[in-house]
Amino acid sequence: MYKQWLNIMLKSPLFYGMDERQLNIMLECIKPRVIKYNKDEFIALAGSNFIGIGIILSGEAMVVKENAAGNRVIISLLKAGELFGEMVAFSGKGKWPATVIAQEPCTVIFISPTAIVSQCEKLCNSHQLLIMNLLKILSQKALMLNRKMEYLSIRNIRGKISHYLLEQYKHNGKAMFTLSLNRNELADFLNIPRPSLSREMCRMRDEGLIDFHRSSIRINDLENLKAQVDL
Amino acid sequence: MYKQWLNIMLKSPLFYGMDERQLNIMLECIKPRVIKYNKDEFIALAGSNFIGIGIILSGEAMVVKENAAGNRVIISLLKAGELFGEMVAFSGKGKWPATVIAQEPCTVIFISPTAIVSQCEKLCNSHQLLIMNLLKILSQKALMLNRKMEYLSIRNIRGKISHYLLEQYKHNGKAMFTLSLNRNELADFLNIPRPSLSREMCRMRDEGLIDFHRSSIRINDLENLKAQVDL
DNA sequence: GACAATCGGTAACATATGTTACAGGGAGAG
DNA sequence: CTCTCCCTGTAACATATGTTACCGATTGTC
């Protein structure tokens, strides 16, 4: 039943570090459900009962959420091997927080949270690995959200730019480096309009803080640049 | 050794659902370290080696973080019973992401992450509960961050207010309800200055969207209010 | 009741930011 | 080369928001 999907599952971070044999034993132990969906079918419906952490085995699905205004907003796209529902699984809420819709025919495997934490009778030690992986996935998600928050909670544009450049500087270790995002992408990431980004960067150049041409950047006045970040 | 702290630990969400006896067995099993600190001592230093999830047993501590500019920013205050380091414990990073400083003499217990996931020999079933609790804590943290992000990524003040009111409305089910935050707190939560909040709320009242007096609110024009949220 | 402390509303002003439209310059295609 | 297209920078303008300061209302305390 699970055989044909083993390779895809092994690529999921949930089963990271396992080999085929271990995964097989594991699956025998927790007996997850595999369900097929047609295009445009609901894989999960926001507000309805949560049935387990999902992994897309084949096909592609879209995660959408209704905001307070009732508009559907696309949260992300899920491809084969990707995970959903991991945040809500252990939160104590029993409902899906968002809707997942099949973009094409999909196969999805659902793993019930209780199966993950309960001692399996055979005491497979992959079980322990599974829990470790899950903890790691959740931790990293939280840390990632934390980093995004840092940018969003800086109120002024100059602060955001400075924060970003300093982070890149730390990462590269040199005063001169190349941005991996173009202006459009950077503006999106910082959640500001592109012309505002350009304008502010030029002002910063005029003031001697930085120098740039296209995507190559040099930090001229490190100390002053740091002073621009002020939450 | 742990006896005098049992009551405080039982209040921690990490040990939620356990009784004194269970906790005791648990502690014998994972043997956490208890360390005392003087006022102003570092309990954890950002960048240094992570030693375990911490619980404040007595005293009060401050979590601070250096932002890109090198300024120290207060993240939160920790009181007795509260937890820190739970996000980084299983993330794969081995370093503290922030600094924790004792504000007064403190006692802290550190629980090593490996002790949590490893099968204890005595197979205590509180162990399973501990893991469940940890998963719950991390999930809720991620969901909370997610919710905050929703607010922060709305660009205009009116959108933030509308989003918040609609969320409260959903929660209460009635068009008229009471806010649990005062203006100052609400402004902080939405990351805007208080006078700007007041001003915008009054404009919304003038336009007939809402009515309010102090902390009691009535939604007059639900449809229009929804139209105000636009990400 | 008198007082202080806190909270919320208001106004006036400065300024940062959003918006729109356009122009120059590099890069790739033919 | 020459012609596009796309990425940037630039400008002008409207407007949302930040800032500061003050005032009245409410609440709690003595």
DSSP per position, A154-212: --SHHHHHHHHHHHHHHHH-SSEEE-SS-HHHHHHHHTS-HHHHHHHHHHHHHTTSEEE
Query: Token pair of A130, please?
Result: 């599974």
B68 closest CB neighbour out of A70, A125, A166: A166
Kindly state the tokens that stand for A131. 């829990």
Band (pLDDT 50/70/90 cuts) for residue B68 is low
- Say what the pLDDT of residue B3 is: 79
Looking at residue B120, its pLDDT comes to 61
The answer to whether B183 CB is within 7 Å of strand C is: yes
Q: Report pLDDT for A150.
A: 82
Mean pLDDT of successive 10-residue stretches along chain A, which has 231 residues:
85 90 85 92 94 93 76 77 93 91 92 80 71 91 86 88 92 90 88 93 93 90 87 57
Q: Is the CB of B157 under 7 A from strand D?
A: yes
Is residue A216 less than 8 Å (CB to CB) from chain B?
no
Q: Which of B115-119, B185-189, B199-203 has the lowest mean pLDDT?
A: B115-119
The DSSP letter of residue A50 is P
What 8-state DSSP symbol labels residue A216? E
- The pair phi, psi for residue A91, each rounded to 5°, is -85, -15
Q: In whole angstroms, what is the distance from residue A79 CA to residue A60 CA?
A: 5
Residues A196 and A13: their CA atoms lie apart, in Å, by 38
Chain A residue closest in CA terms to B230: A69
Average pLDDT over residues B16-42: 89
D25 C1' – B213 CA distance, angstroms? 12
Helix (H) or strand (E) holding A132: helix A126-152
> pLDDT at position A2, please?
76
Single-letter amino acid, residue B26:
M
Residue A76's pLDDT is what? Answer: 79
- Give dist(CA B155, CA A47) in Å, integer: 27
Q: What is the mean pLDDT of chain A?
A: 88
Helix (H, G, I), strand (E, B) or coil at A11: helix
- State the Cα angle at A167 between A166 and A170, rounded to 5°: 85
pLDDT of residue B121: 55
Section B103-118 average pLDDT: 88
User: Residue range B46-68: average pLDDT?
Assistant: 88
* CB-CB contact of B57 with B1 (8 Å): no
Mean pLDDT over B23-34 rounds to: 87
**What's the pLDDT score for residue B196?**
95
Q: What nucleotides of chain C have any atom within 7 angstroms of a protein Cβ?
A: 7-12, 16-21
| For range B47-62, the mean pLDDT | 93
Indicate if CB(B193) is under 7 A from strand D.
yes
List the structure tokens of A199. Answer: 């304008």
Q: What percent of chain B has pLDDT over 70?
A: 93
- Dihedral angle computed from the Cα positions of residues B157, B211, B186 and B12, in that order, rounded to the nearest 10 degrees: -130
Q: Which residues on A lie below 8 Å from B114 (Cβ)?
A: none
Backbone phi and psi for residue A206, each to the nearest 5 degrees, phi listed first: -60, -35
Any idea how long chain B is?
A: 231
Chain-chain contact of A69 with B153 (C-beta, under 8 angstroms): no
Tokens coding A216 = 């190559």
pTM above 0.75, yes or no: yes
- Check whether residue A174 has its CB closer than 7 Å to nucleic acid strand C: no
What is the three-class DSSP state of A104? coil
**A193 C-beta less than 7 Å away from strand D:** no
Could A90 and B135 be called an inter-chain contact, meaning their C-beta atoms sit closer than 8 Å? yes
SS3 for chain B, per residue? CCHHHHHHHHHCHHHCCCCHHHHHHHHHHHCCEEEEECCCCEEECCCCECCCEEEEEECCEEEEEECCCCCEEEEEEECCCCEECCCCCCCCCCECCCEEEECCCEEEEEECHHHHHCCCCCCCCHHHHHHHHHHHHHHHHHHHHHHHHHHHCCCCHHHHHHHHHHHHHHHHCCCEEECCCCHHHHHHHHCCCHHHHHHHHHHHHHCCCEEEECCEEEECCHHHHHHCCCC
pLDDT per residue as tens digits for the range A178-199:
998 889 889 988 889 999 999 9
Q: What count of other Cβ atoms lies within 10 Å of the Cβ of residue A106?
A: 24
Task: DSSP letter for A40, please.
Answer: T
Q: How far is CA B184 from CA B145, B188, B192, in A?
A: 21, 6, 10
Interface touch A90/B138, C-beta < 8 Å: yes
**Burial category of A208 from C-beta neighbours within 10 Å (exposed 0-12, middle 13-18, buried 19 and up):** exposed
Q: How far is the CA of A74 from the C1' of C28 (A)?
A: 33
Number of residues assigned to chain A:
231
User: A12 in helix, strand or coil?
Assistant: coil
Q: Which of B189, B97, B46, B70 is nearest to A229 (CA)?
A: B70
Give the per-residue pLDDT at A171.
87
Give the pLDDT of residue A106.
Answer: 94
Q: Which residue is nearest to nucleotide D9 (CA to C1')?
A: A198
Residue B31: its pLDDT value, please?
86
Q: What is the pLDDT confidence band of residue B69, given thresholds at 50, 70 and 90? A: low
